[in-house]
Structure 1
Amino acid sequence: MLEHVTPADTETTSASTPAEDSGSERVELRVPSIADGKHMWTLARDSKVLDLNTSYAYLLWARDFSRTSVLATLDAEPAGFVTGYMRPDAPDTLMIWQVAVDAASRGHGLAGRMLDELADRTGAARLETTITADNEASQRLFTSFAARHGADCTHSPLFVPEDYPDGHDTEHLYEIAPLGSR
């Protein structure tokens, strides 16, 4: 899958999620800061499935697009992120670029919770993302998101191998709209 800091940016959403073994773990979903850029890069690198960008790109993302991105921590440790932006030519559309959850943090529903947080925070009427045909986990994540939000989910090829200089697989544009209340 192709796959912004002011005082207002420090607002957080916190929730407790039962641990799979025992006790409970504290999950926090928050606006990323520049200091989180390195964690986002590490999470992307360690995912082994995301297209890894330079560490500089994640620092810029954490600075310039923090309001449309989210960082999840599990017991105060970075556990996942979602990067997104509002499309300049469609300002009510949240485009999701990358979703990553640390392997040790999977099974807590973090990816879905991060997407819900961003949809709520941005007030987006539509959500878009791109997914390759072999990425079944992302397909499930976004179709489940659409169902939770009472939205239609359509997809069609957006970028085909001929568009890329490196033979990248086709990225299918998933369009989820209209976003309604859950």
Structure 2
Amino acid sequence: MTAAQADLLIDRPSVADGAALWRIAKASGTLDLNSSYSYLLWCRDFAGTSAVARGADGEPVGFVTGYIRPERPHTLLVWQVAVDSAHRGRGVAGALLDGLTARLTAEHGITSVETTITPDNTASARLFASYAARHDASVTREVLFDAGLFPDGPHEPEVLYVIGPLTTAPTRPSH
């Protein structure tokens, strides 16, 4: 754990965090931005399968949203990961993923993580490859949603990353 990570609290989001999550997602410049309303709902309905990193002042500086797949109850689908620009490059995203999956492994027995990443999002690809390595897990990739399925203009394909089986704790700290 880095000094920057030691100063963070990894926590469940609350509805009061919804606006901050929306702002962090908007400022990321890479995420598909959902409505502010959806972040409020996410913090209400999926707080148990999501995590927020809080700075010393208690304000969110990063988040990961996810849900347990109804048809695969041991699989966490990671929807979005974002970190405030002032906190990037400090291992916050990795600490969020590690903290969330440790909690969900204990609470729900999750054994794998799924996420989708567009081919041009090298930062996310590196984040999840590093996560898999820390957890001694394999990664498989396949196109989940072809570009032609998106009705709202040009969109790259969404590649499904399946990571697992997970070990209960990372073999190396995130950094």
Alignment correspondent of 2:136: 150
2:165 matched to 1:178? Answer: yes
How far the C-alpha of 1:73 sits from its partner, in A, is 1.3
152-161 vs 68-77, which moves further: 68-77
Alignment correspondent of 1:28: 9
Q: Aligned partners of 2:104 and 2:155: how far apart in 1? A: 30
1:29 match: secondary structure: strand
Please show how residues 71-90 of structure 1 align to structure 2 within 5 Å.
71-76=52-57, 77-90=59-72
Alignment correspondent of 2:125: 139
Please show how residues 11-160 of structure 1 align to structure 2 within 5 Å.
17-19=2-4, 26-76=7-57, 77-123=59-105, 124-160=110-146
Aligned length: 163
Unaligned runs of 5+ in 1: 1-14
The one-letter code sitting in structure 1 at the alignment partner of 2:161 is Y
The TM-score, its normalising length taken from structure 1, stands at 0.86
Q: Pairwise CA RMSD of aligned residues?
A: 1.5
1:75 match: secondary structure: coil
41-50 vs 160-169, which moves further: 160-169
Q: Aligned partners of 1:64 and 1:75: how far apart in 2? A: 26
How far the C-alpha of 1:107 sits from its partner, in A, is 2.2
The one-letter code sitting in structure 1 at the alignment partner of 2:24 is L
The one-letter code sitting in structure 1 at the alignment partner of 2:9 is E
Alignment correspondent of 1:12: none
The one-letter code sitting in structure 2 at the alignment partner of 1:62 is C
More strand by share: 1
Alignment correspondent of 1:10: none
How far the C-alpha of 1:118 sits from its partner, in A, is 1.1
- Identity in percent: 52
The one-letter code sitting in structure 1 at the alignment partner of 2:149 is D
1:80 match: secondary structure: strand
How far the C-alpha of 1:18 sits from its partner, in A, is 2.3
Q: Aligned partners of 2:100 and 2:52: how far apart in 1? A: 10
The TM-score, its normalising length taken from structure 2, stands at 0.89
